[in-house]
Structure 1
Amino acid sequence: MAAHRKPRNRPLGGSTARTAATLALAGAATATAFDGTGHAEPQRTPDQVRAEVDELYQEAEAATEKYNGAKEKADAAQRRLRSLQDEAARREDRLDSARDALGTVAAAQYRNGGLDPALQLALSADPDQYLEGAEFAERAGDRQSAAVTRVRDQLREIERLRGAARIELASLRSRQAELKRSKRTINEKLGTARQLLDRLSPPEQAGVTTEGTGGNRASRADPGDGRTALPVAGPVAAPGPRAAAAVAYAYQKIGSPYVWGATGPNAFDCSGLVQAAYRSAGVALPRTTYAQISTGRRVSRSELLPGDLVFFYSGISHVGIYVGNGQMIHAPNPSAPVRLAPVGQMPFAGATRVV
């Protein structure tokens, strides 16, 4: 019988060694992953989150102003389209009346055998009325010719109105598509910001929302809840009654929530607050920041007076109402209500004096 010998251990070599090493590394990587010590996304500090959230809010606000502009134009296109449709309907009613009149004349001619009105009068049994009748026939012919001309003109005008309505409808649909795109962008930016904030503890979230772009880092007068008292140095008189009324309105709205696209009376976005404040003072302002900055007279930062509009960022995407002592009232972003804030907390882009 053959002897049963114990097999010898042979060193691993070649492809066998490489396979074993690969398996070992894979096992180690798997174990590391389960232990939670792998290459995970680095934890952001509250300051980093604040910076990212600020940037997202700024981008969302720029998209909000685009939305506001597109909505303003869509509303105008809707009004023009409705006006054109109403005018076309009125023209069609007048056209129907003119056609009825022509139909009456045509029917009368058919009943009378289609004879020329002058010949009919010449053969009349009452020749004494010939001249009077002939004059009537001439007037009737003129009226018929004028009626035909009016019908033709009305048909051309109705077609023109319909063409203009088609153009307005195309414009309206384009603006509505732009609204959808801007709305989607806004919601995406705000959703990402919310996700970032949700990763922080409640105290850290409070720090971000009170000290971020929409907050009051440099304001000693702000207790942190957005319901700020008058500036530290005391109120400054506005240069005129309408500017004073706009400033007073803004103070009354401190603490109101920020809602993008809102123009009051209970919620606002930044340009919506400015528009509502001056509307309360009897002054009509455009809807968007980039239109508002072209209203009134441009003033330098050193010339600011209460009631002036102050704008921020290179894209003119944010606006507030200056109230004196280097401070403004503005609607910051969804994480902060309408509040008093220092003008210097954001990149200054310009100012205008409306009245």
Structure 2
Amino acid sequence: MNRRHRAAAAITLVCALGLLTVPAQAMAAPTPDASPSPSATAPASPVSPASPAAPPSSEKDLEKVREQIETLYRKAGAATDAYNLAEEQAKKQSGEIVKLAQAIVDGQTRIAELKDRAGAQAREQYRNGGLPPGAQLVLSDDPKLFLDGVNKVRTSQQANKAVLADLTRTQEDLETYTQDASTNWHKLETNRVKQAQAKKKINAQIAAAEKLESQLEKKERARLRQLEKEAANRAQTAWLATRPVQDTPSTSGATSAAGKAAVAFATSQIGKPYVWGATGPGSYDCSGLTSKAWAAAGRPIPRTSQEQWRLLPRIDIRDMRPGDLIIYHADASHVGMYVGDGTMVHSPRPGRHVTLAGAGSMTILGVVRPDK
């Protein structure tokens, strides 16, 4: 494609920028799920809405249902992380395209100006019989006029070279901007496809979990909630038994001012519902809560739990202090904020609200400190 065609193609991007403002719901970004991706109508094992499990007939059966529901929501959380990461990347690509489109427009304006200048210089030489300004003075017998003519010829030649060099450089920049814009556009579309796939998986997993729970009788649902609490308490008790020290200044250090501010923000959100992709103010997903809390403390952090785990400084769990983020599960698909005394605040899952819970009530992957 020649330069003129590349520039024309780039301008098309400017016209398409209106498409970039389509709102997209946000959330937390995991490693790919090793299990097959479910469709909207046929969620993957362990539960398929098309083939509902029989209502539990015993405590053991109800415990299995609890485990199945927990697995489904964990998979939904992982897909939510993937959705959030794709959305963040799509926002970045949209911003880059906007900048490149403006650079293309500016470059075309600059080229038009340089061509006008080059044309004016060419017309001036034509009026002088094809000679640059001052060339006639070089032919003069007057030494003073001769020297003036030499200086004018040199100045004219330098001006012509500068215009041509600037024109060449601007045309090259314009071609680069066009290529970059095209690349970013393809990345944007790729991330939109990822968002759509993650959204489909999230909705399928949540629908499967909700359908499974809806098959229970009222007393069974109440018992299910009790089983959830008992499982969390067992995990918390086991975790506390392995902790040699609890929040002592010698190991955890004094909580920073930013950490205190982040904790204050997060705990003030208690009672607000979990909504996948939400970052407040009325609802949150897990990483939406932690990222907003640290932003309120003046320390912006990555949007997703996986990116928080990947990019933020890690610390030993024994050195944990209020404000630190606890990353859960092997795929880093959940995150909570430590508030002290073995407790964390988090937004658990669909159907639940921001709440306090035992820091060890789920499997801990590690701890990160945003302000280290």
Q: What's the TM-score once normalised by structure 1's chain length?
A: 0.75
Aligned to 2:214: 198
How far the C-alpha of 1:236 sits from its partner, in A, is 10
How far the C-alpha of 1:131 sits from its partner, in A, is 4.1
Matches within 5 A, 1:293-312: 293-294=309-310, 295-300=312-317, 302-312=318-328
- Structure 1, gaps ≥5 residues long: 1-39, 220-234
Matches within 5 A, 1:176-325: 176-208=192-224, 212=228, 217-218=232-233, 239-294=255-310, 295-300=312-317, 302-325=318-341
Do the aligned partners of 1:236 and 1:323 also contact (CA within 8 Å) in 2? Answer: no
Aligned to 1:42: 54
Change (3 A) 1:110 1:327: same
Aligned to 1:227: none
How far the C-alpha of 1:97 sits from its partner, in A, is 1.0
Distance in 2 between residues matched to 1:198 and 1:346, nearest whole Å: 25
Distance in 1 between residues matched to 2:183 and 2:327, nearest whole Å: 35
Distance in 1 between residues matched to 2:205 and 2:126, nearest whole Å: 74
Change (3 A) 1:98 1:162: same
Identity of aligned pairs, percent?
Answer: 33
Do the aligned partners of 2:63 and 2:227 also contact (CA within 8 Å) in 1? Answer: no
Deviations 1:172-214 (A, max 9, x none): 221111111111111111111121122223443354457548x
How far the C-alpha of 1:308 sits from its partner, in A, is 1.9
| Structure 2 letter corresponding to 1:107 | R
| Structure 2 letter corresponding to 1:77 | Q
| Structure 1 letter corresponding to 2:233 | A
Do the aligned partners of 1:246 and 1:277 also contact (CA within 8 Å) in 2? Answer: yes
Do the aligned partners of 1:326 and 1:343 also contact (CA within 8 Å) in 2? Answer: yes
Deviations 1:23-51 (A, max 9, x none): xxxxxxxxxxxxxxxxx963335433322
Do the aligned partners of 2:124 and 2:133 also contact (CA within 8 Å) in 1? Answer: no
Distance in 1 between residues matched to 2:307 and 2:176, nearest whole Å: 32
Distance in 2 between residues matched to 1:116 and 1:313, nearest whole Å: 76
Do the aligned partners of 2:134 and 2:152 also contact (CA within 8 Å) in 1? Answer: no
Deviations 1:214-272 (A, max 9, x none): x98539xxxxxxxxxxxxxxx99972222111111111100111111111222111111
Do the aligned partners of 1:73 and 1:175 also contact (CA within 8 Å) in 2? Answer: yes
3-state DSSP class of the match of 1:319? strand
- Structure 2, gaps ≥5 residues long: 1-51, 235-246
- Structure 1 vs Structure 2 CA RMSD: 2.9
Matches within 5 A, 1:58-207: 58-115=74-131, 117-121=133-137, 129=145, 131-207=147-223
Do the aligned partners of 1:54 and 1:212 also contact (CA within 8 Å) in 2? Answer: no
Distance in 1 between residues matched to 2:144 and 2:289, nearest whole Å: 82
Change (3 A) 1:252 1:216: farther
Distance in 1 between residues matched to 2:90 and 2:248, nearest whole Å: 40
Which of 240-249 and 268-277 deviates more?
Answer: 240-249
Do the aligned partners of 1:51 and 1:212 also contact (CA within 8 Å) in 2? Answer: no
Do the aligned partners of 2:80 and 2:199 also contact (CA within 8 Å) in 1? Answer: yes
Aligned to 1:28: none
Aligned length: 299
Distance in 2 between residues matched to 1:128 and 1:239, nearest whole Å: 80
Change (3 A) 1:331 1:60: same
Do the aligned partners of 2:138 and 2:147 also contact (CA within 8 Å) in 1? Answer: no
Distance in 2 between residues matched to 1:67 and 1:257, nearest whole Å: 19
Change (3 A) 1:241 1:123: closer
Aligned to 2:22: none
| Structure 2 letter corresponding to 1:299 | D
Aligned to 1:346: 362
3-state DSSP class of the match of 1:329? strand
| Structure 2 letter corresponding to 1:218 | N
Do the aligned partners of 2:124 and 2:132 also contact (CA within 8 Å) in 1? Answer: no
How far the C-alpha of 1:273 sits from its partner, in A, is 0.7
Do the aligned partners of 2:139 and 2:146 also contact (CA within 8 Å) in 1? Answer: no
Are residue 56 (structure 1) and residue 68 (structure 2) matched? no
Q: Report the structure number with the largest CA radius of gyration.
A: 1
Q: What's the TM-score once normalised by structure 2's chain length?
A: 0.72
Which of 317-326 and 289-298 deviates more?
Answer: 289-298
How far the C-alpha of 1:283 sits from its partner, in A, is 1.3
